[in-house]
Structure 1
Amino acid sequence: MKRITQQQLESYLWGAAVLLRGLIDAGDYKQFIFPLLFFKRISDVWDEEYQAALKESDGDLSYAQFAENHRFQIPDGAHWKEVRQTPKNVGAAIQRAMRGIESANPNMLDGIFGDAPWTNRERLPDETLKNLIEHFSTQTLSVANVPEDELGNAYEFLIKKFADDSGHTAAEFYTNRTVVHLMTQLLAPRAGESIYDPTCGTGGMLISALDEVKRGKGEYRTLRLYGQERNLITSSIARMNLFLHGVEDFEIVRGDTLANPRHIEGDRLRQFDVILANPPYSIKQWDRAAWASDKWGRNFLGTPPQGRADYAFQQHILASLTKRGRCAILWPHGVLFRNEEQAMRAKMVEQDWVEAVIGLGPNLFYNSPMESCIVICNRNKPKARKGKVLFIDALSEVTRERAQSFLKPEHQQRILKAFQGFADQPGFAKVASLKDIAANNANLSIPLYVKRQTANGQKKEEGKPASLQEAWDQWQSEGEAFWQQMNKLTTTLDELTENN
Structure 2
Amino acid sequence: MDMSTPAEVRRKPTLTQSELERHLWQAADILRGHVDAGKFKDYIFALLFYRRLCDVWDEEFEVLLAETGDRKEAAEPDEHRFHVPPQHHWRAVRKHATQIGQHLNNAFAAIEDANLRLRGVFGDVDFANQERFPDARLERLLAHFEKHRLRNSDVPPDMLGDAYMYLIEQFAEGAGKKGGEFYTPRQVVKLIVACLDPEPGMSVYDPTCGSGGMLLEAVQHLKAHSQDPRSVSLHGQEKELDTWAIAQINLFLHDIDDAFIAKGDTILDPKRYDPRAQEFIPGVGAYDRVMANPPFSAKEWGHEVWTNGDPFGRDVYGVPPKGYGDLAFVQHMIASLKDDGMLGVVVPHGVLFRGGAEGRIRESMLKADIIEAVIGLAPNLFYGAGIPAAILIICKGKPIEREGKVLVINGDATFTPGKAQNTLTETNVQTLSDAFHGFASIDRLARVVPLEEIAGNNFNLSISRYVQTGTEAEAMDVAAEAAKLQDLIAQRDEAEAVMFGHLRRLGYVE
Q: Same fold (TM over 0.5)?
A: yes
Share of identical aligned residues, percent? 42
Amino acid at match of 2:483: N
Distance, in Å, in 2 between the alignment partners of 1:267 and 1:147 is 37
Distance, in Å, in 2 between the alignment partners of 1:441 and 1:179 is 29
1:197-236 correspondence to structure 2 within 5 Å: 197-236=206-245
1:37 is the counterpart of 2:52: no
Amino acid at match of 1:86: H
Secondary structure of 2:59's aligned partner: helix
Pick aligned residue for 1:449 from 466, 471, 474? 466
Q: Which consecutive residues of structure 2, in runs of 5 or more, have no partner in the other structure?
A: 1-11, 275-280, 498-510
> Could you give the per-residue CA deviations for residues 157-199 of structure 1, whole angstroms, max 9, x where no partner exists?
0001111122221111111111111111111011111111111
- How far off its partner does 1:497 sit? 5.6
1:284-433 correspondence to structure 2 within 5 Å: 284-292=299-307, 293-340=309-356, 341-433=358-450
Pick aligned residue for 1:61 from 56, 71, 76? 71
Distance, in Å, in 2 between the alignment partners of 1:147 and 1:420 is 34
Secondary structure of 1:273's aligned partner: strand
1:487 is the counterpart of 2:472: no
> Could you give the per-residue CA deviations for residues 102-127 of structure 1, whole angstroms, max 9, x where no partner exists?
11111x11111111122222222222
The answer to whether the 8 A contact 1:283-1:308 is kept is yes
> Could you give the per-residue CA deviations for residues 105-154 of structure 1, whole angstroms, max 9, x where no partner exists?
11x11111111122222222222222111111111100000000000000
Distance, in Å, in 1 between the alignment partners of 2:476 and 2:88 is 58
- How far off its partner does 1:492 sit? 3.2
Secondary structure of 1:174's aligned partner: coil
The answer to whether the 8 A contact 1:43-1:79 is kept is yes
1:116-135 correspondence to structure 2 within 5 Å: 116-135=125-144
1:194-273 correspondence to structure 2 within 5 Å: 194-263=203-272, 268-273=283-288
- How far off its partner does 1:287 sit? 2.2
Distance, in Å, in 2 between the alignment partners of 1:384 and 1:413 is 23
1:474 is matched with which residue? 473
Distance, in Å, in 1 between the alignment partners of 2:451 and 2:473 is 28
The answer to whether the 8 A contact 2:235-2:259 is kept is yes
Pick aligned residue for 1:70 from 70, 73, 80? 80
Distance, in Å, in 2 between the alignment partners of 1:200 and 1:345 is 24
Distance, in Å, in 2 between the alignment partners of 1:497 and 1:25 is 35
The answer to whether the 8 A contact 1:397-1:411 is kept is yes
* CA separation of 1:432 and 1:495: change in aligned 2, threshold 3 A: closer
> Could you give the per-residue CA deviations for residues 286-341 of structure 1, whole angstroms, max 9, x where no partner exists?
22121121110011111111110111111001010011210111112111000121
* CA separation of 1:267 and 1:123: change in aligned 2, threshold 3 A: closer
Secondary structure of 2:235's aligned partner: strand
- How far off its partner does 1:448 sit? 2.0
Distance, in Å, in 1 between the alignment partners of 2:472 and 2:493 is 37
Under a length normalisation based on structure 1, what TM-score does the superposition of the two structures give?
A: 0.92
1:464 is matched with which residue? none
1:77-96 correspondence to structure 2 within 5 Å: 77-96=87-106
1:25 is the counterpart of 2:21: no
Amino acid at match of 1:493: I
- How far off its partner does 1:28 sit? 0.5
Secondary structure of 2:87's aligned partner: coil
Amino acid at match of 1:274: R
> Could you give the per-residue CA deviations for residues 59-111 of structure 1, whole angstroms, max 9, x where no partner exists?
321121122331110113111111111121111111111111111111x1111
1:3 is matched with which residue? 14
Secondary structure of 2:271's aligned partner: coil
1:167 is the counterpart of 2:176: yes
Amino acid at match of 1:298: R
Amino acid at match of 2:321: P
Distance, in Å, in 2 between the alignment partners of 1:417 and 1:283 is 32
Amino acid at match of 1:404: Q
2:27 is matched with which residue? 16
Distance, in Å, in 2 between the alignment partners of 1:383 and 1:217 is 29
- How far off its partner does 1:42 sit? 0.4
The answer to whether the 8 A contact 2:316-2:331 is kept is yes
Amino acid at match of 2:231: T
The answer to whether the 8 A contact 1:223-1:249 is kept is no
- How far off its partner does 1:484 sit? 2.2
Distance, in Å, in 1 between the alignment partners of 2:175 and 2:283 is 38
- How far off its partner does 1:447 sit? 1.9
- How far off its partner does 1:483 sit? 2.3
* CA separation of 1:64 and 1:267: change in aligned 2, threshold 3 A: closer
State which drifts further: 215-224 or 116-125. Answer: 116-125
The answer to whether the 8 A contact 2:186-2:213 is kept is yes
- How far off its partner does 1:443 sit? 0.7
RMSD of aligned C-alpha atoms? 1.5
- How far off its partner does 1:449 sit? 1.8
1:283 is matched with which residue? 298
The answer to whether the 8 A contact 1:364-1:406 is kept is yes
Distance, in Å, in 1 between the alignment partners of 2:49 and 2:476 is 45
- How far off its partner does 1:496 sit? 5.0
Q: Which consecutive residues of structure 1, in runs of 5 or more, have no partner in the other structure?
A: 454-471
Amino acid at match of 1:324: D
Distance, in Å, in 1 between the alignment partners of 2:282 and 2:264 is 18
Under a length normalisation based on structure 2, what TM-score does the superposition of the two structures give?
A: 0.91
The answer to whether the 8 A contact 1:200-1:227 is kept is yes
